[in-house]
Amino acid sequence: MTHSTDAAAAARGLASDALAAIDRGDTEAASALAAVAHVFAKLASAPFPVSRASMESVAVSVDQPAADFPADPDQGIPALLLRAHDAIQNAGGQMHTADLATLLGEETQALGTELSKLLRAVGIRRPRNGTIRIGSSGAIRTGFEAATLAVAIRHYRTKANEFAA
């Protein structure tokens, strides 16, 4: 097994633990687990060996609330969209809005409204009017899918490249 495979597996496990903490109502543990999962997800995509400086820059960035998170200046992609995509991808590809808001440290309705605006800005509509079911017996609630956010990220990247050209 490679370092990146180990880190990706750790990220998935930690994201799963964070969701379990949310189910228990332990938002402090959920937030901490999500932050560590985010670091492992970044490490999974990093070339090895990873320098301490690059690890510290990742660790610092996960503690910033969305309002303080700078947008990606090189790509023109809203930071909130990138953070939400990472969190959802690490949690298995889909997530209810309330759970995502807890992981990101945001207010549920504000997060849902802002992410929906970001999707509409590039002409993306969420499948099934934004409702998802986690698992075969899970409740149907509003949420987001990593695949939908990935399409929006590609659209933002294309717009940024067109603007820069």
Surface-to-core class of residue 129, CB atoms within 10 Å of its CB (0-12 exposed, 13-18 middle, 19+ buried) = exposed
CATH number at residue 93: 1.10.10
Summarised one tens digit per residue, pLDDT across range 16-27 is: 776 677 677 776
**Model pLDDT, residue 81:** 94
* Same domain (yes/no): 47, 78: no
Last residue of a domain, one of 41, 63, 85: 63
Mean pLDDT across the stretch 39-58? 48
pLDDT of residue 35: 64
Least confident interval from 1-10, 65-74, 134-143: 65-74
For the sheet with 94-96, list strands across it. 94-96, 140-145, 131-133
For residues 157 and 104, the answer to whether their CB atoms sit within 8 Å is: no
Mark whether 31 and 84 lie in a shared domain. no
pLDDT of residue 41: 63
Supply the pTM of this predicted model: 0.57
Which range marks the domain in which residue 26 is found? 1-63
Residue where a domain stops, chosen among 63, 81, 116: 63
Pair 94, 153 in one domain: yes
Same domain, 15 and 78: no
- Of 14, 48, 53, 55, which is closest to residue 31 (Cα–Cα)? 14
59 and 74 assigned to the same domain? no
The answer to whether 110 and 128 have CB atoms below 8 angstroms apart is no
User: Same structural domain for residues 82 and 130?
Assistant: yes
Q: How high is the pLDDT of residue 110?
A: 95
DSSP assignment string, 75-88: TTB-HHHHHHHHHH
**Domain end residue (candidates: 48, 63, 78):** 63
Q: Are residues 39 and 19 in the same domain?
A: yes
Answer whether residue 15 shows pLDDT above 50: yes
93: left (phi over 0), alpha (psi -120 to 50) or beta: left
Is 57 found in the same domain as 89?
A: no
Between 162 and 154, the more confident residue is: 154
Number of domains in the chain: 2
Both 12 and 80 in one domain: the answer is no
Whether residue 87 sits in one domain with residue 108: yes
55 shares its domain with 86 = no
Question: Residues 155, 107: one domain?
Answer: yes
CA 4, CA 2: separation in Å to the nearest integer? Answer: 5
Confidence label for 87 from pLDDT (cuts 50, 70 and 90): very high
